């Protein structure tokens, strides 16, 4: 989630984090402290000549940056080399959740680290994680270090079945046995559904600008959610990813699907993850062919239901609205005037770069938005998403 109040900080942060050399030097100093060695399975206790190099930004967004890092050290007279991922957190605590959640550890780095450790221990497909540092004094922000996977490019159409069954696998886990201390279950069977209208009201009250027509639609969607809370009793809460979409999974060279970006985890209704992912599957699969995109999204839902040990059917439409509304407010908040931006960016991009016909892919790579051309393309992608939201809202209200 991006709020107008944090844009300046995000710009400053992005400029600072482009300096890979400075990050590498600080991280190297951090890892050279004797107390760091032996505290994880990253560097053996007796290792020496620790060096960090090849720091390269490979992803991230407004809330975090992700870097690839090369680590070398000598252990037992042998030079060892490891390829790592360094994830840093600009906003370590979500300001919306902070406003009304008071019984959980909301630090994103701690939440992500704990869930990766827990899921990795039972063989769930996540990166191996080594270090969590919540103290900002070392790199200037909290961070997590994990294993870097060698991946191959796959479209959502190619992996949709595995994408769906992996989510069902997550939801089938017994959350009480996972031992993740930073999350708490909702207080009753309606509590998770009841929180969303409250959540979005907090969201809209922050310092953001929205087109008047869009804000009216956002409030209309919130009222619809509020009126349907009583129809969304959840019989069994589970561990949620919280941001499950095609850009947060990857396929390794040995054909394993790995799930990334766990800083939005919580305990809640499994229908949320499915409803949220539904729109991204539909949006990313084939933007030029709405029928094909719809088929892929429905296949995702069908395959999930086939593997999940429960029933989400009666609650899915509610959480489709929840998932779409949250991302739509996010995209809208990044545009000071969405209607103007749509007209300007469409004309500018298509005039200057007529061969660029697929801007939607930039939704999956928000770290590219800091270049001018990428920002133009991303703005058009944001507006297409908002147009999709308005259409979905209209269809939902007709039912």
The predicted-structure confidence for 70-107, as pLDDT tens digits, reads as follows: 999 999 999 999 999 999 998 888 777 776 777 778 89
Q: What is the pLDDT of residues 218-233, one digit of tens each?
A: 999 999 999 999 999 9
Confidence of residue 308 (pLDDT cuts 50, 70, 90): very high
SS3 content of the chain, % helix, strand, coil (to 5): 55, 15, 30
Number of other residues whose CB lies within 10 A of the CB of residue 287:
18
Task: Report residue 328 as tokens.
Answer: 């739509």
Confidence of residue 289 (pLDDT cuts 50, 70, 90): low
**Summary mean pLDDT of the chain:** 83
Least confident segment among 1-5, 198-202, 276-280, 334-338 = 1-5
Secondary structure of 163-181 in HEC code, one letter for each residue: HHHHHHHHHHCCHHHCCCC
Least confident segment among 30-44, 64-78, 135-149 = 30-44
- In this prediction, residue 319 carries a pLDDT of 98
Enter the pTM of the model.
Answer: 0.84
- Give me the mean pLDDT over the 377-384 stretch: 68
Q: What is the pLDDT of residues 167-195, one digit of tens each?
A: 999 999 999 999 999 999 999 999 999 99
Q: Are the beta carbons of 140 and 92 closer than 8 angstroms?
A: no
Q: Are the beta carbons of 276 and 245 closer than 8 angstroms?
A: yes
Confidence of residue 272 (pLDDT cuts 50, 70, 90): very high
- In this prediction, residue 167 carries a pLDDT of 98
Q: Which helix (H) or strand (E) holds 316?
A: helix 316-333
- In this prediction, residue 290 carries a pLDDT of 65
Specify which of 131-135, 366-370, 381-385 reaches the highest per-range mean pLDDT: 131-135
- In this prediction, residue 292 carries a pLDDT of 87
207 versus 280: the higher-pLDDT residue is 280
- Give me the mean pLDDT over the 203-214 stretch: 80
Confidence of residue 14 (pLDDT cuts 50, 70, 90): very low
- Set out the domains of the chain in order of their start, with CATH numbers: 4-147 (3.30.200.20), 151-398 (3.90.1200.10)
Residues of the chain with pLDDT > 70: what percent? 79
What three-state secondary structure class fits 123? coil
Number of other residues whose CB lies within 10 A of the CB of residue 36:
18
- In this prediction, residue 105 carries a pLDDT of 83
359 versus 327: the higher-pLDDT residue is 327
Has residue 332 got a pLDDT over 60? yes
User: Pairing between strand 78-89 and 64-75?
Assistant: antiparallel
Instruction: Please report the DSSP string for 49-95 in residue order.
Output: EEEEEEEEEEEE-SSEEEEEEEEEEEETTEEEEEEEEEEEESSSS-H
- In this prediction, residue 10 carries a pLDDT of 39
- In this prediction, residue 353 carries a pLDDT of 41
- Give me the mean pLDDT over the 350-371 stretch: 40
- In this prediction, residue 331 carries a pLDDT of 86
Has residue 373 got a pLDDT over 80? no
Least confident segment among 184-193, 202-211, 331-340 = 331-340
């Amino acid at each position: 989630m991006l709020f107008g109040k944090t844009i300046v900080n995000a710009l400053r942060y992005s400029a600072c984090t482009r300096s890979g050399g400075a990050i590498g030097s600080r991280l190297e100093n951090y890892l050279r402290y004797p107390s760091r060695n032996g505290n994880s399975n990253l560097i053996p206790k007796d290792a020496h000549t620790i060096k960090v190099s090849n720091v390269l930004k490979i992803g991230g967004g407004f809330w975090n940056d992700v870097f690839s890092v090369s680590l070398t050290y000598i252990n037992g007279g042998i030079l060892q080399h490891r390829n790592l991922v360094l994830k840093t957190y600009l906003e370590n605590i979500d300001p919306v959740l902070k406003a009304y959640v008071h019984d959980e550890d909301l630090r994103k780095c701690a939440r992500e680290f704990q869930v990766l450790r827990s899921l990795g221990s039972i063989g769930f497909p996540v990166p191996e994680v080594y270090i969590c540092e919540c103290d900002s004094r070392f790199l200037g922000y909290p961070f997590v270090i994990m294993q870097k996977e060698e991946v191959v490019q796959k479209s959502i159409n190619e992996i949709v079945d595995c994408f769906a069954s992996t989510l069902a696998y997550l939801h089938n886990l017994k959350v009480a046995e996972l031992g993740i201390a930073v999350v708490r279950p909702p207080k009753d069977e309606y509590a998770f559904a009841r929180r969303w209208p409250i959540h979005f009201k907090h969201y809209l009250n922050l310092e953001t600008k929205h087109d008047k027509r869009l804000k009216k639609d956002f409030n209309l969607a919130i009222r619809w959610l509020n009126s349907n809370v009583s129809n969304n009793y959840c019989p069994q809460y589970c561990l949620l990813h919280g941001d499950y979409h095609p850009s947060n999974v990857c396929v390794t060279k040995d054909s394993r699907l790995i799930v990334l970006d766990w800083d939005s985890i919580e305990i809640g209704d499994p229908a949320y993850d499915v409803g949220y992912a539904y729109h991204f599957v539909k949006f990313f699969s084939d933007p030029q062919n709405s029928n094909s995109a719809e088929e892929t999204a429905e296949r995702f839902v069908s395959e999930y239901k086939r593997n999940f040990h429960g029933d989400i059917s009666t609650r899915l439409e509610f959480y489709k609205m929840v998932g779409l509304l949250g991302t739509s407010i996010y995209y809208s908040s990044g545009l000071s005037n969405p209607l103007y931006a749509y007209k300007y960016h469409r004309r500018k991009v298509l005039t200057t770069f007529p061969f660029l016909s697929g801007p939607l892919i930039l939704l999956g790579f928000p770290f590219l938005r800091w270049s001018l051309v990428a920002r133009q393309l991303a703005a058009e992608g944001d507006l297409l998403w908002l147009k999709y939201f308005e259409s979905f809202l209209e269809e939902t209200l007709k039912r």
